[in-house]
Amino acid sequence: MANIDIIKDKCVGCKRCAGACPFGAIEIVEKKATIKDTCTLCGSCVESCKFDAINFERDQVAEKIDLSEYKGIWVFAEQRYGRLKTVSLELLGKAKELSAVLNVSVTAILLGNGIHNLADKLIAYGADEVLVMDEDGLNDFNDHIYGEAIIDLIKEYKPEIVLVGATSKGRSLAPHISSALKTGLTADCTELSIDLESKLLVQTRPAFGGNLMAEIICPDNRPQMSTVRPKVFKPLEPDYNRKGKITKICKRPVEGLVKLVGNIDNAEGVGLSDAEIIVSVGRGMGSAKNIRLAKELADVLGGALGSSRPVVDMGWMPYSQQVGQTGKTVAPKIYIACGISGAIQHLAGLADIDTIVAINQDPDAPIFKVADYGIVGDVNEILPAVIEKIKQAKIT
Amino acid sequence: MRIIVCIKQVPGTNEVKIDTATNTIIRENVPAIINPFDTYAIEEAVRIKERAGAEVFGLSMGIPAASEMLKEAISLGIDKGVLMTDRKFAGADTLATSYALSRGIEKIGEYDLIICGKQATDGDTAQVGPSLARTLGIAYATDISKIIEIKSNKMCCLKITDDGYEEIEINLPALITVVKEINMPGLPSIKSMKKAKNSKIEILTFEDINADEDRLGLKGSPTQVRKTFVPVHEANNEMIEGTLEEKTEKLSDILLKLRTEVK
């Protein structure tokens, strides 16, 4: 089995490894590094040592699979009511870029009922081939039915990379597939690249609420699977003159173990996960009734309304709008925090935001440390004036 | 019925301090806690027990010290704690974790429902629930916000999605992962704290679970961490000063400018 130990003769007690350990599992005892019980054998420390004092033995995989059999990049084309999710188009763009490095083709996997006409759009956005399964039994998304269908396709076609959008459905579907295929899956990636030497997919993802980034690889198993957050990558400009191959898969889907009884859709509007601009409210709004100000600002800016946890706990906002560790992770371009103090649990829900604007009465609120623009003041005084000015600017 | 709740011990904070001299991470010895999402899983199992009668097991995989956390789960209302601990389990990614848990569950025996938190706050992957269900070959549904009804072979739930909610019917046995909205966890009573104190946590090692060693721990983990680094967040940190009029004027200009860049 895998093992790690410190070669005491080489260790100089420099503490670099202790700093590199994400689990705090290395302690310096009598000027020598010591590995504690809490070590998870992740290997993060090995590179940090400048003295080759860490002896890390990784196990060899028992059965090596023939990696050369696996070729091509797949993107799961998620659709609902016959509309493609934008993250799937974003993934096609990235897949296209990665495919150029690997010199392979990009395939979109399209499942549903009465959706075959979406294949042209997928080709326009970068797919070289689309595998379409258009069946009655695929009318509603279903982890088990969709999952088993994709597992069979992967076993047959053997792609080397499979990318899935990190939507609520994608995050539920992808582990079903990877688990059945006994391969690796990296969640919520924010960057993907190909290592030129090994030709492996390098998957970058946040850990510990975004306080640490990790580069993950899956060297010995195929396919290499990732879920990717919406809006991390840009879709290509669609080109409807692009030619691609459309392959119809005729196969009866399996029976489901979970049945959809009914949908209760959110009101039409910009959802938190798709929003470019989010106006988010905290306890500093003062009352449930003042939240309409933030809603109005979101409306004039064309954004969505989010919330901190205390506001949801007090019943001022629904849980579906909660941003943070126990709520949603969001990645808008602009995040406007109104009366939010900025506890670490809240900041954990903010991924890849270009600009943070914070309004808070307390000049010492932690939110100002991460804000690009900050205003100390009462949101209920500031927001009405700002809304008015933006409205005027839009008219003129 | 029998319910198994999967519980993970996580660091009490995600704060990562950086040693500016060496540009590396310092992780202070922060206290370990029950993964916040798992507290909702525990509470939901306890509520089902109170409503319909059930035996509730808490299952965890971790270091020996995690048995204290399982005692805390007993004080919150679960009946029995089972801890899987062995160096052979260490270094597991979500695939190897799911496999190990599936073997632990097999050891516990018959069950009707497995409840997991939506995700753990140290990894945030939300993979172990679905992966475990697939390994066990049972139905699953993620992000459950309400259990409407449980019958002997079916349950009816609400599931939160990006688009709203779905009402779904799940065949039992099944695995669900739950979100915060599902309940408000209660506090332990004096009686339950006493019970927890006197309780014994069952320990399962590699020898106990009839597992394939090649599929456990680091060896059974297809993913590898190649490198970790602390992301650089360079905030502009510009404070907008002045009278209320000046401040709102400046803020409006900034928002309008940012908006044109976005759209």
Quick check: B235 and A22 CB within 8 A?
no
The residues near A198 (Cβ < 8 Å, ≥ 6 apart) are A217, A219
pLDDT tens-digit readout, A174-194: 999 999 999 999 999 989 999
pLDDT tens-digit readout, A190-201: 899 999 999 999
Q: Is it the case that residue B192 has pLDDT exceeding 80?
A: yes
Confidence bin at A56 (pLDDT 50/70/90): confident
- Cα distances from B259 to residues A278, A333, A373, B250, B254, in angstroms, run 11, 9, 14, 14, 8
Which of A211, A301, A328 has the most B C-beta neighbours within 10 Å, making it the best mutation to test the interface with B?
Answer: A211
Which of B179, B206, B227 has the most A C-beta neighbours within 10 Å, making it the best mutation to test the interface with A?
Answer: B227
Confidence bin at A170 (pLDDT 50/70/90): very high
Q: Is it the case that residue B45 has pLDDT exceeding 70?
A: yes
| Residue A389, pLDDT score | 93
Q: Is it the case that residue B23 has pLDDT exceeding 50?
A: no
| Residue A24, pLDDT score | 76
Q: Is it the case that residue B26 has pLDDT exceeding 60?
A: no
Q: Is B115 on the interface with A (CB under 8 A)?
A: no
pLDDT: which is higher, B101 or B163: B101
Question: Mean pLDDT over all residues of chain B?
Answer: 92
pTM for this structure? Answer: 0.87
The pLDDT of B135-144, averaged and rounded, is 97
Q: Is it the case that residue B25 has pLDDT exceeding 70?
A: no
Quick check: A44 and B228 CB within 8 A?
yes
Q: Is it the case that residue A7 has pLDDT exceeding 80?
A: yes
Min Cα distance B179 → chain A (Å) is: 8
| Residue A17, pLDDT score | 85
Min Cα distance A24 → chain B (Å) is: 5
Q: Is it the case that residue B111 has pLDDT exceeding 50?
A: yes
| Residue A102, pLDDT score | 97
pLDDT: which is higher, B261 or B220: B220
CATH class of domain segment(s) A277-395: alpha beta
Contacts of B28 in chain A (CB under 8 A): 24
Confidence bin at A211 (pLDDT 50/70/90): confident
If you count residue pairs, one on A and one on B, with CB atoms under 8 Å apart, how many are there? 327
- Ranges A353-357, B126-130, B157-161: which has the least confidence: A353-357
Neighbours of A150 (CB within 10 A): 24
The pLDDT of A82-108, averaged and rounded, is 97
Coil, helix or strand at residue A386? helix
pLDDT: which is higher, A18 or A160: A160
Q: Which CATH architecture has domain A67-248?
A: 3-Layer(aba) Sandwich (3.40)
Label each residue of chain B as H, E or C. CEEEEECCEEECCCCCEEECCCCEEECCCCCEEECHHHHHHHHHHHHHHHHHCCEEEEEEECCCCHHHHHHHHHHCCCCEEEEECCHHHCCCCHHHHHHHHHHHHHHHCCCCEEEEECCCCCCCCCCHHHHHHHHHCCEEEEEEEEEEEECCCEEEEEEEECCEEEEEEEECCEEEEECHHHCCCCCCCHHHHHHHHHCCCEEECHHHCCCCHHHCCCCCCCCEEEEEECCCCCCCCEECCCCHHHHHHHHHHHHHHHHHHHC
| Residue A164, pLDDT score | 98
Q: Could you tell me the two tokens for A195?
A: 């290592």
Residue ranges of domains in chain B: 2-215
Q: Is it the case that residue A363 has pLDDT exceeding 70?
A: yes
The closest of A201, A232, A226, A220 to A90, measured between CA atoms, is A232
- Partner residue facing B98 (CB), from A167, A179, A212: A179
Residue B15 CA to residue A390 CA, distance in Å, equals 37
Q: Is it the case that residue B18 has pLDDT exceeding 60?
A: no
B2-215, what's its fold? Answer: Rossmann fold (3.40.50)
Nearest CA in chain A to B233: A370
Residue B57 CA to residue B41 CA, distance in Å, equals 12
Nearest CA in chain A to B248: A386
Nearest CA in chain A to B99: A179
Q: Is it the case that residue A392 has pLDDT exceeding 50?
A: yes
Residue A258 CA to residue A248 CA, distance in Å, equals 26
- Partner residue facing A344 (CB), from B14, B221, B262: B14
- Partner residue facing A382 (CB), from B37, B224, B247: B247
Amino acid at A102: L
pLDDT: which is higher, B17 or A126: A126
Q: Is B209 exposed, middle or buried (0-12, 13-18, 19+ CB in 10 A)?
A: buried
| Residue A55, pLDDT score | 87
pLDDT: which is higher, A61 or A285: A285
Q: Is B151 on the interface with A (CB under 8 A)?
A: no
Which of A60, A141, A171, A192 has the most B C-beta neighbours within 10 Å, making it the best mutation to test the interface with B?
Answer: A171
| Residue B21, pLDDT score | 55
The closest of A2, A6, A3 to A18, measured between CA atoms, is A6
Nearest CA in chain B to A319: B181
Q: Which CATH architecture has domain A3-57?
A: 2-Layer Sandwich (3.30)
Quick check: B255 and A336 CB within 8 A?
yes
| Residue B60, pLDDT score | 98
Domain with CATH 3.40.50.1220 in chain A: 277-395
Q: Is it the case that residue A21 has pLDDT exceeding 90?
A: no
Quick check: B258 and A261 CB within 8 A?
no
Confidence bin at B180 (pLDDT 50/70/90): very high
